[in-house]
Every structure is written in structure tokens, then in C-alpha cells.
Structure 1
């Protein structure tokens, strides 16, 4: 059938399962209890971890905000047990977390604050891991449709429990739940590896490049002992400030050249094409370094093609070593310290040109850039690996459920 809602079974099935899935109101498959206001029982020495709005991660994992609550009659009455779920009903992030659920893995560890609902599953109808995946996935799309509010979004659980849930046998649920549990564990492992690589790059950058504040960096590559020479950026790189074309000449159809105006057009050290312009004002060439000069100041990219740069961008003709120096400057919040303006921070052409940097020999420069580029490539590969797994998970969420 063309309408997914009319299907009685998912596109993909585990071997041996052929029965149609049931449509049941959520309220017929659970019991539930609202969280309660327990702020006055918060204590740094409290026994229980608190589940509140900020506890719900986008990956379905508990975010420990360090909030604890003391044990007493009220908090004990709102403990959530192993195998139960909590659902967040309020959201100040524009709907990013509303309707998400946490699956509790231990007894007597968590107490549920207001604006969350405790959900106890019927064990004859639900496998907890399946419920966790389903409620965070296909079912949450239904919750988002009944979301209300403006600045602060909310849903009433009285409306949520009237929504229809698609259920199969608990035996099939266990197969599906186990698969997604394994996928989630793989994603967590790969994200941990990514974080470790990012920390390695950050540490190496800091120690290999702090010649930009000292004549000798903390860490030297083998065979290099010469002091680094002081320069102004204008003396080692050509700098061009952008100029914005008329908005009458903008388009999103790919006519003309890509326009880079600011941070919104930069992504992970590269450019993100959003707007094109048929009016050519100032150009940046392929492999130029792009630096944002208006809030947020100091973001960087290397362009992979010729682009037009607006007044929020400066183009710098420099090598990968210069690029890494500027990245390190930004991490040290250098541009934030010298930027001007009360509402919108900015830096001037002169601020960039007069930037003091320390430069090693060309050979050491090349080797440092090569080391950092190798780690960046590993980080990019790890990011791509995570993206592939997330795409697989998205595909399975679409095709293993109805």
C-alpha cells in the first residue's frame, strides 16, 4: 500500500515472523505517573540522581547534570524502577528533546522531577528495549505533531497516551530491540573514538603551535632546534576583505558563484554552499583561508573553489601551517579579546594584518602541517563512519517499524 499508516507489517522482518502488527492506544498498554516538583529537596549529598528537562540526551542517554535529591517520603514515591521509562513533556530547545524517553537500567537510582512522565510498560505487550527505540523513533514523530507552545514547547501526557502505538509480539520486539541496542553501543564506541582523536589533535596543536606566542614551541619534531621568527601576518600572507553584493543578485538555484558571507556558510573547516550571486564583488581563490570578521569572529575554512566573499569574511592567501596557527588562535579566544562592538563583535582589516605570529623554517612548517593534517583526516574518516552508522539506523527505524 502506498500509505505507510495502512501497512499491517513493516517492510523488513526477522526470519520466522509473519503476523500482522497490532494498533493499540498507548494508554491501553501502560500505566503512568507524573513527575513532581522536588527542587526543595535538591542536595549535593542527595541519594538520588534527578531526571529533569536537561537530563534527556539526543541519543536517548541520561545527561548527568550533577543534580541530586535527598531521600524522603516524597522523593521515594517518585523513584523510577528498572525497565520503566521517563518521557520529557516540556522543551526550551525548539522541540529537540520533547517526547524523548530514557530507559532505566537500575532500581533506586533516579527520581523524576516535574515535566516528565513515568511510564510502566505492560510486560505482556512490551519489551523495554523495543519500547525505548520505538518511543524515541516512530512514535515520537506523532508526539511532535501534538506539540504546543511558542518559546517553551510542551505536550500533555493526557494527549500522548491517546496516540496509537504499533505493536508486534514480545518475541519479535526482543529481536528488534536487541539489534538497536547493539547499534547504539557501536555508535557510542565510535563517538568515544572520535572524541579521543579530537583531544589528541587539540593537544598536539597546542604544543606544536605555541610558537605563535613563544619563539620555541613546547613540543618540537625531531631534528628542529632553531628559534621561530616573529612576523606580522600581512608580511607573510596576502589579506583581502570581503564586499557584499546587492541582495537583488542573490539566488539559491546555483546561478553565478557561491557567496560566503559568514559563519553560516562555513562547515567543519570547509564551505557550505547556501546562496549564489551573479554580482562579483570580491573573490577568494581555491585553497584560500576564509576568516569570519563579524560575530562570531574567528571561524575558519579553506575554500575548495573560487567564491565571492561578503563583508563578514576576509580571505587570506596562506598555507596549511598558517591555517592551523589561526585555528589555534581562535581556540585561545584571541579574536574575542580584541574584537570591538557592543552588540555585534567584529575585527578590522588592520587587526588581521597586524597579527603577530611566529614562523619556523619552511621544512618544520611543512612537517607540522602534515602531522596535523593526518590527524584531521582520521577525524574526518571517523565522522564519516559515524554518519554511515546513523544512516543505517535511520533506514532500519523506517523499515523495521510501522
Structure 2
């Protein structure tokens, strides 16, 4: 239960239930057919993996045919909505919330995501989302489930947050929103730099006439998961990444550590997803343990960044392995080692590697700045609201 300080009471703060300051609280459903109904283009269906803490990541958003959205019309996402993950296992996704800060067109949510739409005469949209984030632990304490935690509509509607006068909400939202705006501007620049790197690589590869087996130009470490009892989230040991679920735009998100590392990646190694989706890529920031869903790839010819962008721009290289696993797509060490990679010794002499290195260094700097900005913002949320 939310509690006000004497200073907050004196400043006119009250305690409000989410159900009393919103116009909509509700989740969607998965279109009939589940994953098999997804298509490359069409209306978006936002899933729990798209809703991160204070960030909406639509890089792998699902799309469905227009005719399958009939049952989703009531959960059409609007600008200003807060999206909240309401299911999850082990608190990995449940409770994450993000603000929809732009018009997404025709976009819906599935049954794992709840729309919380503010009554703007009572609550500022940014203040609402940041309040839900500030009291995430308290909200998670109300979740229940035998095998999967869940937040019901009733739990969300009755959840209480401290609510200052609207003018004070707008002041707080302005401070926090300016940090979000800077993070978003950096993110757009990162995406632009990434596109420049891809364009330069495609142009360079037009002149490359030969291929090499990946094993001949790189060192490959296939991941191996450590025992479960060695894993922790307290920072004991070394970072551990299991698979694509840990990936960010360029670098994985630190969440899990192990005290008994098995297979290790070195700083700036290419992290390659060897299970569906095959070929998803990230880079390691520091030495880390890689699980069975990943392989660490390290250039042995001084072309670390050229190799990364070559893999990034040529997903057709491993198309033949899609569907080869007994349950899902996978590629083993033999298959990965024998991939035919477009390769030329000229990437260093003609400046391609240097250019891509400068692109990656700038992306790294911007990513680090975003981490610092996010830490500052999250600390301010706790200070100003919590």
C-alpha cells in the first residue's frame, strides 16, 4: 500500500487507485493459430518481449493479417498508453512497463500485455508509467500463480500510487521525459550508424569474389550452460548469457551470473544465436560465459568488425539450417564452421575495417551513455515518485 510523507501531504499529494485515474485497463489475446499466424507485414501485435522497463522494443514485433484482428479491436494501442507485462516466470518479464510515446498505427497487444490508458484530466501519461515502474516491486508482490506469475485486471485496478497535483506531475514528467528524449535521440543515432555500417559492408562485398570457411578465418567457441545451482542475479562470478533472449540492439543485457563458468567469450566477440532464431547477433562487452544457445566467434585475421557486418548482412548463409532441429531450428559446430563466408584480405588495406571499427566505437559510446542516462532516470524516478 502506498504511503505519503508529511511533505507530500503538505504539497497536496493523494493516494489514487489506478482504476480511478484511467479510462482503460485490459489485455488482448493471441490470434488463432499463434505463431503460425504471424506474417512479415500487417498490423502489429505487441508481446511481452517487446515491453521492456521504460522502453518499447519493436525490433522483432509480430505482424498478423488484417482479417485476424477482429477480436483485438478493443485493445488497439494509442499514443500515451502504458503497456504492462502481466505474466511471466521468475519475474523476468512480468511487471515491465513502457510508455507508447508515438502513434504506432494499427497495433494491438496479446494476452500477456495490458493496456493502461490514463484519464489525462487526472494523471499525466509519463507520470503514470514512471509511477508503475517506481512501484514495480510492490506490484509484483501481488502477483500469483503456481507455475507462472500473473497480474489480474482486478489487481491492477486496485493498485495504489502517490498522486501529486497535475501541475507537479507535469513538472516531474518534464524532468524524466527529457532524459527519455536524450536516450531516444541516441538510439536513433545508433540505428543510423548501424545502417551506415551495413551499407558500407554491402558495397564492399560486391567486390569480394571468393569465400572462406568460417573456421578458417575465425575461432569458434560453442556455448555450454553451467549447472543451474551456480547461477545467480547478485553479480557473483562472471556474466552468463544463455541465448537470444538476453540480446539487446548490439550488446546483451546483464541479468545472470555464474560461479562456475564453462565456455567463455572474450570482449567484443561476436555472439551468434545457434538456436531459433539462428543467426541473431550481438557483441560481448566483457568476458562472459556463453550458454548452449550461443556461439562466440572471434576473427583470426584482424577483421573483427568486417566479419560481424558480413554475418549481419548475409542471413542467407545459414538458411539451409532452418528447421533442421528435431523441435526447433539449430546449427551445430560443424555446420557453423563450414559456413562459406565472403572474404577478402583487402578489408584492412582499403580502410573498410577501420571505417567499421569507428562505427562500432561510436555505437559503443552511445550505448554506454544510454546506460548512464537510464541509471540516472531510474534513480530520479525513485527519488521524485517513490
What is the TM-score of this pair, normalised by structure 1? 0.60
1:379 is aligned to 363
Contact 2:270 2:284 in 1 (8 A): yes
After TM superposition, the structure 1 = structure 2 runs for residues 354-365 of structure 1, keeping only pairs within 5 Å, are: 355=340, 357-361=342-346, 364=349
Count the aligned residue pairs.
Answer: 348
For residues 332 and 203 of structure 1, what CA distance do their matches in structure 2 show? 12
For residues 310 and 38 of structure 1, what CA distance do their matches in structure 2 show? 32
Contact 1:142 1:163 in 2 (8 A): no
Q: Is the radius of gyration larger for structure 1 or structure 2? A: 1
Q: Structure 1 330/260 Cα, relative in aligned 2: closer, same or farther at 3 Å? A: farther
Paired residue for 1:182, among 162, 178, 202?
A: 178
Paired residue for 1:295, among 272, 275, 299?
A: 275
Contact 2:44 2:107 in 1 (8 A): yes
For residues 230 and 145 of structure 2, what CA distance do their matches in structure 1 show? 34
Q: Structure 1 237/399 Cα, relative in aligned 2: closer, same or farther at 3 Å? A: same
What is the TM-score of this pair, normalised by structure 2? 0.62
2:38 is aligned to none
For residues 104 and 139 of structure 1, what CA distance do their matches in structure 2 show? 21
2:383 is aligned to 399
Structure 2 gaps of 5+ residues are 32-42, 68-72
- What SS does structure 2 have at the residue aligned with 1:359? coil
For residues 116 and 252 of structure 2, what CA distance do their matches in structure 1 show? 42
Contact 2:82 2:115 in 1 (8 A): yes
Q: Structure 1 322/349 Cα, relative in aligned 2: closer, same or farther at 3 Å? A: farther
**What do residues 202-224 of structure 1 show as CA deviations (whole Å, max 9, x unaligned)?**
2212222345xx42xxxxxxxxx
For residues 310 and 244 of structure 1, what CA distance do their matches in structure 2 show? 5
For residues 16 and 124 of structure 2, what CA distance do their matches in structure 1 show? 17
- What SS does structure 2 have at the residue aligned with 1:165? strand
Contact 1:23 1:164 in 2 (8 A): no
Q: Structure 1 80/243 Cα, relative in aligned 2: closer, same or farther at 3 Å? A: closer
1:172 is aligned to 168
After TM superposition, the structure 1 = structure 2 runs for residues 196-275 of structure 1, keeping only pairs within 5 Å, are: 196-211=192-207, 214-215=208-209, 231-232=212-213, 237=217, 263=243, 268=250, 274-275=257-258
- What SS does structure 2 have at the residue aligned with 1:166? strand
1:225 is aligned to none
2:311 is aligned to 329
